[in-house]
Amino acid sequence: MSVVMDADALRRFLAAEFPQSLQLGFEITRVDAQGVGLVLRTGDHHLRPGGTIMGPTLMTLADTATYLVILSRVGPVALAVTSSLEMHFLRKPPPGTLYVDARLLKLGKSLAVAVVDIHAEGAGDNPVAHATVTYAIPSKR
Amino acid sequence: MSVVMDADALRRFLAAEFPQSLQLGFEITRVDAQGVGLVLRTGDHHLRPGGTIMGPTLMTLADTATYLVILSRVGPVALAVTSSLEMHFLRKPPPGTLYVDARLLKLGKSLAVAVVDIHAEGAGDNPVAHATVTYAIPSKR
Amino acid sequence: MSVVMDADALRRFLAAEFPQSLQLGFEITRVDAQGVGLVLRTGDHHLRPGGTIMGPTLMTLADTATYLVILSRVGPVALAVTSSLEMHFLRKPPPGTLYVDARLLKLGKSLAVAVVDIHAEGAGDNPVAHATVTYAIPSKR
Amino acid sequence: MSVVMDADALRRFLAAEFPQSLQLGFEITRVDAQGVGLVLRTGDHHLRPGGTIMGPTLMTLADTATYLVILSRVGPVALAVTSSLEMHFLRKPPPGTLYVDARLLKLGKSLAVAVVDIHAEGAGDNPVAHATVTYAIPSKR
Q: Could you report the per-residue pLDDT of C15-37, keeping only the tens digit for each?
A: 998 887 788 899 999 999 989 99
| Residues A6-17 pLDDT 10s | 999 999 999 998
SS3 D107: strand
Give a three-class secondary structure readout of C3-48: CCCCHHHHHHHHHHHCHHHHHHCCEEEEEECCEEEEEEECCHHHEE
Chain A residues touching chain D at CB-CB below 8 Å: 86, 88, 90-91, 105-106, 113, 115, 126-127, 130, 132, 134
Residue A2 belongs to some domain of the structure: no
Domain count, chain A: 1
Residue C120 belongs to some domain of the structure: yes
Burial of D32 per CB tally in 10 Å (0-12, 13-18, 19+): exposed
Residue C2 belongs to some domain of the structure: no
Span B16-41, average pLDDT: 90
Q: Say if residue A45's pLDDT is above 80.
A: no
Q: What percent of chain D has pLDDT over 90?
A: 61
Span A67-91, average pLDDT: 91
CATH code, domain carrying C115:
3.10.129.10
Q: Tell me, what's the pLDDT at C31? A: 97
Q: Tell me, what's the pLDDT at C101? A: 98
In this structure, of B127-136, D38-47, D62-71, the range with the lowest mean pLDDT score is D38-47
Q: d(Cα A77, Cα A83) in Å, to the nearest integer? A: 15
Which residues of B fall within a CB distance of 8 Å from D136? 111
Residue D141 belongs to some domain of the structure: no
Question: Dihedral angle at the C-alpha atoms of C30, C57, D115, D14, nearest 10 degrees?
Answer: 180
User: Is the separation of the CB atoms in B45 and B95 below 8 Å?
Assistant: no
Q: d(Cα B68, Cα B26) in Å, to the nearest integer? A: 12
Q: Say if residue B141's pLDDT is above 60.
A: no
| Residues C95-130 pLDDT 10s | 899 999 999 999 998 899 999 999 999 888 899 999
Residue B1 belongs to some domain of the structure: no
- Residue D115: name the closest of A70, A88, A57 by CA: A88
Of the partner residues C83, C86, C111, the one whose CB lies closest to the CB of residue A86: C86
Q: Label residue A141 by pLDDT band (50, 70, 90).
A: very low
Residue B2 belongs to some domain of the structure: no
Span C1-10, average pLDDT: 93
The β-bridge relationship of strands C81-89 and C52-53 is: unpaired
Which residues of B fall within a CB distance of 8 Å from C88? 105-106, 113, 132, 134
Q: d(Cα D54, Cα D57) in Å, to the nearest integer? A: 5
Q: Tell me, what's the pLDDT at B47? A: 73
Q: Label residue C8 by pLDDT band (50, 70, 90).
A: very high
Q: Label residue B103 by pLDDT band (50, 70, 90).
A: very high
Q: Please tell me which residue, C119 or A78, carries the higher pLDDT value.
A: C119
Quote the domain boundaries for residue C39. Answer: 7-136
Question: D56 and C48: CB-CB below 8 Å?
Answer: no
Q: Say if residue A114's pLDDT is above 80.
A: yes
Q: Label residue D20 by pLDDT band (50, 70, 90).
A: confident
Span A15-34, average pLDDT: 89
Half-sphere exposure of C84 (CA within 13 A, CB side): 26
Q: Tell me, what's the pLDDT at A9? A: 97
Q: Tell me, what's the pLDDT at B27? A: 96
Q: At what angle do helices A7-17 and A55-74 cross, to 10 degrees?
A: 110
- Whole-number mean pLDDT of chain D? 90
Residue B43 belongs to some domain of the structure: yes
Question: What count of residues does chain A have?
Answer: 141
Q: Label residue D141 by pLDDT band (50, 70, 90).
A: very low
Q: Tell me, what's the pLDDT at B90? A: 95
Q: What percent of chain B has pLDDT over 70?
A: 96
User: Is the separation of the CB atoms in B24 and B64 below 8 Å?
Assistant: yes
Question: A111 and C86: CB-CB below 8 Å?
Answer: no
Residue C141 belongs to some domain of the structure: no
Q: Tell me, what's the pLDDT at D83? A: 94
pTM (whole model) above 0.90: yes
Q: Please tell me which residue, B101 or D20, carries the higher pLDDT value.
A: B101
Chain B residues touching chain C at CB-CB below 8 Å: 86, 88, 90-91, 105-106, 113, 115, 126-127, 130, 132, 134
Question: What count of residues does chain D have?
Answer: 141
Which residues of A fall within a CB distance of 8 Å from C136? 111
In this structure, of A104-118, C9-23, D106-120, the range with the lowest mean pLDDT score is C9-23
Of the partner residues B86, B111, B136, the one whose CB lies closest to the CB of residue D86: B86
> In chain A, which ranges are E strands?
27-32, 35-41, 47-48, 52-53, 81-89, 97-107, 111-120, 129-136
